[in-house]
Amino acid sequence: MGQIIAIVSQKGGVGKTSTAVNLGACLSAMKKRVLLVGMDPQCGLARCFGLDDTGAGIGLLESIRDGVAVSEVIYPSHARLPRLDIIPANVRTMTEEGQYIGSMDREINLLSRVLERVKPDYDYIFLDCPPRLNNPTQAALVAADSYLVPIQCEYASMATVGRVLRAALEVRRLHNARLGIFGFLITMADKRAAFTVKVVQEIRLYLKDRVFRTIIPRDPKLAEIPNRREPVIAYDLQSPGARAYVQLAREILAADSGRVT
C-alpha cells in the first residue's frame, strides 16, 4: 500500500513543484511506483512534463467534479520513467477553478476517496499543492498520510513554516488523525552566501531530525525544467540539483526501510 505525501507551503516559489517532479522521478528510477498529483490550479506540475500542450483532456478536475474514474485521468509522465505517472489538475478557466475549489469545499473527503482507489497501485503518491493554505491544500492534508514542507534557505524562513504547521495540526485534529510529518526539505541553498550556514543551523535547531539531511542547492539546471519539460535526471544527471534529488530519494528509501544511514 502506497503512502500519500502532500507537498505544502503557503509561500510561493519555494520548490514544491520542483520537488514533486524531481523526487518523484528519482524514486521511480529507483524502481518505486510513483504518482504525482497536480493540486495547484496553475497546473505547473503538468507543464513540467509537457502535458498541457498535449490536450490531456481530463484530469483531477473531472475526477472530483464529475466523478470520472481516477484510472482515466492518470497519464504516463516520461518515456524513460515508466513507473512515474501523473494526474494533471486540468483547471483551465476561472469558472473551472471555482468548480474545482467548490467541489473540495463541499466535501473535504472527496480527494481522499478518489485517491484511495489508486493507493494500492503505487509506493509513493505526491500531492503538489498551491502556494496557499486553502481548500486544495486542506483536501490534500486530509487525504495524506504525511506532509513534506520545502523551506527556501533564506532569512526568516522559519516564520512561514509556523503557518504550515498550524494548518496541519488543525487538519489533524479535525479530519485526519493519522497525518504525520514526512520531513522538512531545505531548498535553493546558495553555498556562497554567508548566511546559508546560519539559516541551516536555525532550521535544524527548531525542526531537529525532521529536517532531511539532504539539502537541495540553488542550481540553474533545476530552473530549466518548465522549459525542457522533463525532470533534471533526464537531461543532466551530474548537475548538483540532480545529484541532490538522487541523494534525497536514497535518504527516503533508507528511512522507509527502517535503516539509519
Ligand X SMILES: Nc1ncnc2c1ncn2[C@@H]1O[C@H](COP(=O)(O)OP(=O)(O)OP(=O)(O)O)[C@@H](O)[C@H]1O
* Residue closer to Mg ion, measured from CB, 45 or 207: 45
Residue 15 interacts with, from ligand X, Mg ion, none (CB under 5-8 Å by kind) = ligand X
SS (H, E, C) 124-156: EEEEECCCCCCHHHHHHHHHCCEEEEEEECCCC
Instruction: Tell me the Ramachandran region of residue 243: left when phi exceeds 0, alpha when psi lies from -120 to 50, beta otherwise.
Output: alpha
Grid cell, residue 92, equals 483551465
The DSSP secondary-structure symbol of 123 reads S
| 88 sits near ligand X (criterion: CB under 6 A) | no
| 222 sits near ligand X (criterion: CB under 6 A) | yes
Residues 105-144 that bind Mg ion (CB under 5 A): none
What stretch of H or E contains 195?
Answer: none
Number of neighbours of residue 159 by Cβ within 10 angstroms: 9
| 16 sits near ligand X (criterion: CB under 6 A) | yes
Q: How many helices (H) and strands (E) does the chain have?
A: 12, 7
What stretch of H or E contains 257?
Answer: none
* Residue closer to ligand X, measured from CB, 13 or 98: 13
Residue 221 and residue 224: Cα distance in Å, rounded? 5
Binding window for Mg ion (CB under 5 A); candidates: 9-17, 60-68, 181-189, 208-216: 9-17
Residue 63 interacts with, from Mg ion, ligand X, none (CB under 5-8 Å by kind) = none
Cβ-Cβ contacts under 8 Å for 261 (sequence gap 6 or more): 250, 251, 254, 255
- x/- site string to ligand X, residues 163 to 202, per CB under 6 A? ------------------------xx--------------
Nearest to 91 by CA among 31, 25, 155, 39: 39
* Residue closer to ligand X, measured from CB, 156 or 259: 156
* Residue closer to ligand X, measured from CB, 175 or 240: 240
Report in angstroms how near the CB of residue 242 gets to ligand X at its nearest: 11
| 150 sits near Mg ion (criterion: CB under 5 A) | no
Binding window for ligand X (CB under 6 A); candidates: 9-17, 113-121, 137-145, 206-214: 9-17
* Residue closer to ligand X, measured from CB, 83 or 229: 229
Residues 31-60 that bind Mg ion (CB under 5 A): 44
Residue 256 and residue 120: Cα distance in Å, rounded? 17
Residues in contact with Mg ion by CB under 5 A are 16-17, 44
Binding site for ligand X (CB under 6 A): 12-18, 40, 44, 131, 187-188, 216, 218-219, 222-223, 225-226, 241
